[in-house]
Structure 1
Amino acid sequence: MALAIRDVREHDLDAVLALNNAAGTGILATDLDRLRHLYEIAHYFRVAEQDGRILGFLIAMRQDADYASQNFRWFQAHYESFVYIDRIVIASQSRGHGLGRIFYCDVQSYAEVRVPLLTCEVFLEPRNDQTVLFHGTMGFQEVGQQKMEEGPKVSLLARELPSFPFVRERYLEHGGLPKVEWLAERQRPIDGVGAAA
């Protein structure tokens, strides 16, 4: 069966949590309550599914999210408008096959019609040169560093989205994006009941 990138569903959260906590030192472990909070606030939360198995996920949010992450707050303090990649996890057996690039292309297509910047961080302790190189080849530049209160030192990265000025001038300043499915926002739950309008 073909690989599908789709919005997360609530019943996926147990599988997402297991993937997150099996990822190793490059991803901070979490618990179901924190993951559920991300599920409720994330503007972009997609999974890769094949043959009924979740092979990976990426969580991202815009600058107005109610999120206490120290790294997210750093970007809020320095930039007016952005999409922040909080985490990406690929199952160990699926690494090295381009799934990370597929996710980054997908989140970029979400971001570039809404904001001028795509942001994230990578751990510098322990340094993972494969991760650093991956982000460099995807066009990210270091814009700062900081030591997390309960974690490692990180490199804060941003990528300018060259399509955004065109989208802003042609659409966002003249009534907004077209009403087509591929441009629609994720339907997020409100207070744990139903979906956002």
Structure 2
Amino acid sequence: MSIAIRDVREHELDSVLALNNAAGPAILPLESARLRQLYDHAEYFRVAERDGALAGFLIGFGSHAQHDSRNFAWFAERYPDFFYIDRVAVASRRRGGGVGRALYADVQSYAELRYPQLACEVFLEHGADHALLFHGSFGFREIGQHVMTQDGLRAAMLMKTLCSYPWVRDTYGNVLPDVAWLQRPRKQILAVRPTGTDA
């Protein structure tokens, strides 16, 4: 009954799409072309596997990415350096079983070595208490709200300071040690950070 977190595989995109679109109003629906675009450009795109079956996924972008999300743009207008959780979904039969926590632990482990803050949003229209409580238990705090004009959806914009980042930056600068557990996900190759940043 263990949970394995790993990079998504291209042949799993149809399953990811089905999982996304079955998640309900807490996440925006996707079309296959949009998911392919996320797959091609995301810095972080990992899945959770439990008992050999896809149980959830999480997609994320660094603040220097060319990402066209309106919520991402909201953060980018206000903060120079962060890692953005674009979307996360857990299969309904797996909710409450630790899959979401495993995905968030993994993305934090990735982000805290490279970015000072972790950002995401929670839509408020559809009984968001469980999502807000989940994020609050991970140390996120609301820094504002944003209304997506095309959809009319209001989102609580959440951010978490990553305490390990200053030490990692001061100790290693922009070059992390070449050890297996620090290898960037496959998608990171497409999102090399610009030189001249202090992160």
TM-score (norm 1): 0.92
Residue equivalent to 2:129? 129
Aligned partner of 1:171 in structure 2 is 172
Flag structure 1 segments of 5+ consecutive residues without an equivalent.
none
User: Contact conserved, 1:40 with 1:189, CA < 8 A, in 2?
Assistant: no
1:146 aligns with 2:146: yes
Structure 1 stretch 138-147 or stretch 50-59: which is displaced more? 50-59
CA contact (8 A) 1:63 1:76 kept: yes
Q: Which runs of 4+ in 1 moved over 4 A?
A: none
CA distance in 2, matches of 1:187, 1:4: 17
Would the alpha carbon gap of residues 118 and 178 (structure 1) be closer, same or farther in structure 2, given more than 3 Å must change?
Answer: same
State, as a whole percentage, how many aligned pairs show the same letter.
53
Preserved contact between residue 187 and residue 196 of structure 1 (Cα < 8 Å): no
Residue equivalent to 2:180: 181
Q: Secondary structure at the match of 1:25?
A: coil
1: CA distance, partners of 2:27 / 2:35 = 13
Q: What letter matches 1:162 in structure 2?
A: C
Work out the CA distance in 1 between the residues paired with 2:176 and 2:36.
29
User: Does the 8 Å CA contact 1:124/1:155 hold for their aligned counterparts?
Assistant: yes
Instruction: Tell me the alpha carbon deviations over residues 62-112 of structure 1, each in whole angstroms, 9 at most, x when there is no partner.
Output: 012221111000111111111000111000000011111111111000000
In the other structure, the counterpart of 2:50 is 50
Instruction: Give the structure-2-normalised TM-score.
Output: 0.91
Counterpart of 1:14 in structure 2 is 14
Preserved CA contact (<8 Å) 1:84 1:118: yes
Contact residue 145 and residue 154 of structure 1 kept, 8 A: yes
Distance 1:196 1:42, change over 3 A: closer
1:15: how far off? 0.3
Q: Secondary structure at the match of 2:127?
A: coil
How many residues end up aligned between the 2 structures? Answer: 191
Give the Cα separation in 2 of the matches to 1:99 and 1:187.
22
Q: Distance in 1 between matches of 2:186 and 2:91?
A: 25
RMSD: 1.8
Matches within 5 A, 1:22-171: 22-151=22-151, 152-171=153-172
1:196: how far off?
8.8
Which amino acid is 2:184 matched to?
E
Distance verdict in 2 for CA 1:149–1:128, change over 3 Å:
same
Report if aligned partners of 1:7, 1:47 keep a CA contact under 8 Å in 2.
yes
> Given that residues 42 and 188 in structure 2 are in contact (C-alpha distance below 8 angstroms), is that contact kept between their aligned partners in structure 1?
no
